[in-house]
Structure 1
């Protein structure tokens, strides 16, 4: 009986700042060290000529490209993905370190032809100690897997582009990441969630979450402050409303609605633990949940009114 050939995979790593050079070098090293060897590693530099020259000079054995689109991570990733020719395309961020079996874990579910993409577990790597007020349910705010996600391989609505593998034919069929919609400056739009929804809508494909296929995502000290947390939640609220406007309205936010319904339980559990003398940090976490929800709600309201202002007067109802 003949064995099925292993699909070839390319790994695309977008980068934009020379300040992340040490982190980028670590990311590339982890990509090279996979037990499931990638066919190609592609680093794409986002409109930074000095960084492009340095990467071309110092990253031997790696394909280095310049973003062919307007500045932004979506076009940066598309540049690398469209360059590749493998049947599967993997994405890592330039501030992540993949475990040696990361790629093997994310490739395995593609034996099912209905799987259009996979994503893995993301562990925050704090530069400082994890804040006492940080609720486990809000680790997504620092790019980590959060409490409530599956603990074994399971279908999921969306994964994150920091740890993602896509089926090439489906990715190309939907046109890749939506350029102009993503992370740039103070704008933080969920371009990965939006891509997942479009890919799964095509012929009813599905995404799989593989929690044991892990990466470590660096969390700098600047991202462990309460101010950053509030800004990130606010931006997420704006981004999800903007995404709903591009797709099928509130129907695209089913996962967010289920997530919000789970948060009162997190508040009550932490308050109960605090009243039982298990530590004041539980009280802080309960307050963190309430603050995060409030910031996201404010962001959603702001984005809703901003979208209404852009509708031509003749079309407004």
Structure 2
């Protein structure tokens, strides 16, 4: 097993998730393979920064849990870059602030790095629905809408184009080779729920290191809370449109061939099979079948619309984001509260 220490970065931004944040940290501290440290990066929220610093002040000297201020612009990418710059581990893992990791999460990640070619390892993210069960109309093929592993990803430990950001890890040398997460693609506070920043990074990484291997191991499991507001079709539609916008930025950055390689397989194989299952369930009078088929079609059309709009905007106004490299953050731009 890899003897590299693992730093866990959790980016946080709102006190509304206070209990979730504490649960996320507790799940890291309970790992069968202990983390070297947990870094809580607070996104431009002084009250939350101070509250977390007070909560974990007893860990300040040991460094087991450290609380940092996002040193870059508001948003998830800059928060992750702040964590990367401050981390001491040879492996840096990322956990969503509203998720809890199973006990062997880090152990499964570490096993993947026994192969020196492996530059990134992701895991499986399971939804925890606020209502207690999956909405009947919500297709598993679109679980990425709520930040979870979706139907269509291969099982086991497999090689992939990109890992999924809320449940992922990278060698530190991956960031040395490719730089940090690009700002302007992913989420930014209360703005439109964009994404794909990890996709862009992974493609950039494999270009910088053509021998790099990226894996997903579905035994590295986390459980991600899905709030009630995200169980409705309105959010589904907003998120799929935003995904289209993000894909346009990624395609402009790294080229459509790489930027849309996995998406072509997904839309031509996985989604038609999902529509067929939904229609079959509808014919058999099973709950939600027609809704799932309809949601898949609506999701494709909405994402396609976002992609077209994003492509036009990118051509008119430039890519719309900049790459923020770890070295830049490390040169005196970091912040720390505790």
Q: What is the TM-score normalised by the length of structure 1?
A: 0.94
Contact 2:2-2:110 within 8 A present in 1 as well:
no
- CA offsets, 1:36-89, max 9 Å, x none? 101111101011111000000002421001011011111111111111121111
> How much has 1:142 moved relative to structure 2?
0.6
1:202 to 203, 208, 214: 208
| In the alignment, structure 1 residue 80 sits paired with structure 2 residue 64 | no
Aligned partner of 1:109 in structure 2 is: 112
1:168 to 160, 167, 172: 172
Contact 2:185-2:249 within 8 A present in 1 as well:
no
Q: Partners of 1:288 and 1:93 in 2: how far apart? A: 26
Aligned partner of 1:126 in structure 2 is: 129
Contact 1:107-1:165 within 8 A present in 2 as well:
no
SS in 2 for 1:133: coil
Contact 1:140-1:146 within 8 A present in 2 as well:
yes
Q: Partners of 2:183 and 2:288 in 1: how far apart? A: 41
| In the alignment, structure 1 residue 135 sits paired with structure 2 residue 139 | yes
Q: Partners of 2:19 and 2:231 in 1: how far apart? A: 20
Query: How is 1:200-279 mapped onto 2 (pairs within 5 angstroms)?
Result: 200-204=206-210, 205-262=212-269, 263-275=271-283, 277-279=284-286
Higher RCO (CA < 8 A, seq sep 6+) = 2
Q: Partners of 1:78 and 1:172 in 2: how far apart? A: 12
Structure 1 portions without partners, runs of 5+: 312-317
Q: What is the TM-score normalised by the length of structure 2?
A: 0.88
Aligned partner of 2:317 in structure 1 is: 310
> How much has 1:5 moved relative to structure 2?
6.0
- Aligned pair count reads 307
- The two structures, once aligned, show a CA RMSD in angstroms of 1.3
Deviates more, 1:295-304 or 1:181-190: 181-190
> How much has 1:10 moved relative to structure 2?
0.6
SS in 1 for 2:71: coil
Q: Partners of 1:251 and 1:209 in 2: how far apart? A: 18
- CA offsets, 1:235-285, max 9 Å, x none? 00111111110112343210001100021121122212321x241411111
> How much has 1:171 moved relative to structure 2?
1.6
> How much has 1:187 moved relative to structure 2?
4.9
Aligned partner of 2:18 in structure 1 is: 21
SS in 1 for 2:209: helix
Q: Partners of 2:166 and 2:178 in 1: how far apart? A: 20
Aligned partner of 1:315 in structure 2 is: none
> How much has 1:23 moved relative to structure 2?
0.5
Q: Partners of 1:26 and 1:15 in 2: how far apart? A: 13
- CA offsets, 1:171-223, max 9 Å, x none? 22211111333211215131111111112222220210001110001100000
Runs of 4 or more off by more than 3 Å in structure 1?
Answer: none
Distance 1:179 1:305, change over 3 A: closer
Q: Partners of 1:87 and 1:73 in 2: how far apart? A: 21
Q: Partners of 1:304 and 1:80 in 2: how far apart? A: 31
Contact 2:77-2:183 within 8 A present in 1 as well:
yes
SS in 1 for 2:164: coil
2:196 to 190, 195, 203: 190
| In the alignment, structure 1 residue 10 sits paired with structure 2 residue 7 | yes
SS in 2 for 1:188: coil
Contact 1:116-1:200 within 8 A present in 2 as well:
no
Q: Partners of 2:156 and 2:221 in 1: how far apart? A: 12
Q: Partners of 1:138 and 1:249 in 2: how far apart? A: 22
| In the alignment, structure 1 residue 63 sits paired with structure 2 residue 70 | no
